[in-house]
Chain A
C-alpha cells in the first residue's frame, strides 16, 4: 500500500518586527488603539490563522487596555486557577443569532462558532497591577461541530500581536509580588496537546475523551463584574442574559456561587469562620484540582482522589487515604489528608511545595500560591483530628 507524502508548510516566524506585516507605520505605543473595527472573524472552515489579530475579537493597547468587539463579553470567576500569579483577562464570544444555554452544574452549552478567550499577563509590580503590563499568551477555545479546539497564541515581544504556537514555551518571568518581593516563575505556555491535560473528561473508561470547559459554569460566573461605561457593575449571568447571549438562567440570587477568593488573596484566612474556610477551600480545590481530580478526569481518576465541589465521600476527598500512585510526590507522607494535621497531609505538601515532580497542580505552577496553601492548611487543621491507621507493625 502506497503511503501518502506529507507536505510541510514551513512558516518561519519573523525575527525582526519590521519584517512582519501589521507593525508598519512606526507605531511605538504613542497612538491610542481604536478597538476592533469590523466583525469578529471566527472561520471554522479555514486553517487557524497564524496571528491572533485575524479573529478581530479584541484589541489591546498598553495605555488603554483591552477593547472588545461586539458580542465579545469579558468575565471573571469567583475563585481562579492559580497560574504562577499571572493575571487573566477572560472573555466569551457568542456569534450573532446564537446563544449559550444555562446549566446549574455543568459547563454552559455554547453554540458552534463560539469562542473563549483567555489572556495571561503580568504587571511588573503587583502593587500596581494595572501598570507596565506584559502580555504572555492568549488561549482560544473555539467551538466546532465536533467539539472544542484549543489554540495557543504567544504575544510578540513588541506586544502588537500574538502568534499561533502549538509547541508552547517555557519562559522565566520576573516580577515584584504584592509584598514587593522579587519572584521569578518558570512560566509554562502549554503545548496545544497539553490543553487536554485539564480540559478533558471521559464518561467511562471506554468512552471517548471530550474537551470540556472548566470555568464557564454557573457557580464560577455567578458574581459581579464592572463593565464600565453606562453598564457599570452587573451580575455576569444577568448581563449575558440581558445581551441575549445566554438563555435559561434563573435569577442570579438563586444560583449557587463559588467562594470569592479576592478577600483571601488580599488579607489571608485569619478572619474567616470555620464554615467560610470550608466553603473557600472546597471552591479552591474545585477550580485548581477538580479538572483532573474528579471521577471523569482522565488523568485524575487513577488517583481516586476526587476534589470536585460536590464530592462528599471522605475517602475520595483524601481523608486517611493512601495515594494510588503518587510516586515521588508524597513527600515521605502516608495519607492524602490526615484530619487536623496539615503538615502530615500529602494534599497540603503537594500544593505547597515547589519541588519538580511533586507539585500539584501538574501544569502551570512553578511558584507556591501562598494564600492558596494557607487556606488548605487552615482547612485541614480545622478538621476534627483523626489518627489515620498506620501499617501493621509486622
Chain B
C-alpha cells in the first residue's frame, strides 16, 4: 500500500498532527482521519488558523482536512485549488471558521477543484460569499451553516452557500442565514440536488439561476424577503431549464429587503416564489403560508430587463442542452433569446394566509400594483404577468391566450390571476383576469416535452 506523503511547512507554532497521532483526541470527537475516504488526510486542531492556511495551500489531490472543535479566527479567505479536497469539521457551530476580523477582501471558503466536499462546520461573517465553489465537477455541501452575525445588514456578504458554474452539485441538510443577496445560490450549474436545507433571514432564501436539471425538495425557506426563486439573468451561457421545486416549506418570507442593490433589491418583501425567464419548471407539492405579497409569480425576464438585445446570446457561447427548447431567435443569425417565462407547471401546492399585505415600497412597484388591484383583499396565490401573451381580457376567458404554456391547477387554497403586467401603468389599472378553477386557458396539467426527470448524481 503506497503511503501518501505530505510535506508541510509551518510558520510559527502550530498544532497540526498527523493521522493516528494520539494528541488531544478530544478535539476530534465526531470525525477524525480514521473516518474519511480520501487518499490523504490531515487533522488541524480547532483554532489553529495558520496551520489550516498552510495545510490548505499544501495538500495533494485527494486530501481530507479534518478540523477540530473550536473557532478559527481567519485573516484571509480559505482558498482551496486541489482536486478531491474535502473539508470536514466536528459539526455546525462545533467547528467555526470566523471571518469577522478579516481585513482583506475574499470569500469565506473559496474552492475550485473537482470532487469537493464541505461538511459539518460553520462559516461566519465572510467579507463576500460564505462558501463559493466554482467551475468544479462533483460538489457536496452537507450539514454546514453559512451565516452572518448581524441580521438585516446590507454590508453582509452576498451569498452564503454558492456553487457556481459547477456540475453534479449536492447541497443538503445545511443552513444559510442573513445573506445580503441570496442565502443558498445555485448559479449556472448543471445537475443539482438541493434538499432538506433551511434558509432564513436572507434577502433571497434559495435561488436557482441559469441552471439546468435541478431538483429542489424538502427545504424550508422562512423569514427571507423572497423564499425560493428560479430565474435566468441576461447574458449567462446556460439557459435555465428542468427545475423542480417540490415539497418545500415556504412561509412568512416577509423580511425587509436589505439588499444593497442588484437583482434581488427588486424582490418585494413577502414573496414566496417566482420563476422569471425560466422554462420547464415544476412547482409542486410545496406548502406556502403567510407570504404577505404573494406565493408564486411567473414573470418574463422583460419585467426586469426590457431590452431584448441584452437577452440575446450567440448559440456558440451556450453550454448545456437547449436545442429542444424552441427558444426565440435573436435578431442576428445564430442567436437566441431567453427572456420568456414558459412551460411551467404549478400544481398540488398548499396555500394559506398569504397575500394579505403586499410590499408597498418595492422598487419595481409590483407590490403597489397589487395593493391597487386587490384593494385590501388577499392577493391571488399564483400570479402570471402574461407578458408575451397576444390575448388578454379581464373577464372573458376565451380571449386569453396561453402561448407560454403555463399550467396551473390542483392547488389547495390556491387562486390564480393573470396580471397583464405590460398593460399596467402608474395612472390606470387594467383589471386582472381572475378565473375560477380550472383556470382555462391555463388548465393544462403537464409540461410540453414531458415531465422534468429525476436528477441522478454519479
Binding site for B on A (CB under 8 A): 2-13, 15, 47, 50, 163-168, 170, 186, 188, 191-194, 196-197, 200, 202, 204-206, 209, 298-299, 301-302, 304, 315, 320-334, 356-357, 359, 362-363, 365-366, 389, 391-394
Contacts and interface: CB of A to CB of B under 8 A. Distances in A.
Contacts of A323: 262
A389 B234 CA distance: 14
A389 B310 CA distance: 11
A166 B57 contact: yes
Interface in B170-206: 180-181, 185, 187-188
Contacts of B155: 328, 357
Given A330-B262, A394-B424, A193 B127 contact: no
Contacts of A12: 10, 12-13
A11 B134 CA distance: 32
B53 A167 contact: yes
Given A192-B57, A302-B188, A394-B425, 19 more contacts: A3-B33, A4-B40, A6-B18, A8-B16, A163-B11, A168-B57, A170-B76, A191-B57, A202-B135, A205-B165, A322-B310, A327-B157, A328-B156, A328-B158, A332-B261, A356-B127, A357-B127, A357-B158, A394-B364
B104 A188 contact: yes
Given A7-B6, A325-B262, A193 B103 contact: no
Nearest to B5: A7
Nearest to B82: A193
A6 B6 contact: yes
Contacts of A7: 3, 5-6, 18
Contacts of B50: 167
Contacts of B104: 170, 186, 188, 356, 363, 366
A328 B154 contact: yes
B164 A9 contact: no
Interface residues of B, number: 95
Given A4-B39, A394-B424, A167 B233 contact: no
A193 to B, nearest CB: 4
Contacts of B365: 393-394
Interface of B: 1-14, 16-20, 33, 36-42, 50, 53-54, 56-58, 63, 75-77, 79-82, 102-106, 112, 127-129, 134-135, 154-159, 164-165, 180-181, 185, 187-188, 209, 233-237, 259-263, 266, 303-307, 309-310, 319, 363-366, 368-369, 421, 424-426
Contacts of A330: 260-262
A188 B8 contact: no
Most buried by B among A166, A192, A327, A362: A327
Nearest to A188: B104
27 contacts: A3-B36, A4-B1, A4-B39, A6-B6, A7-B18, A8-B18, A10-B14, A12-B10, A165-B9, A166-B9, A167-B53, A170-B76, A188-B76, A193-B79, A205-B237, A302-B164, A322-B233, A325-B158, A325-B262, A326-B262, A327-B129, A327-B159, A328-B181, A329-B128, A356-B102, A394-B366, A394-B421
B151 to A, nearest CB: 15
B112 A196 contact: yes
A307 B157 CA distance: 25
A206 B80 CA distance: 19
Given A193-B79, A332-B260, A357-B128, A327 B307 contact: no
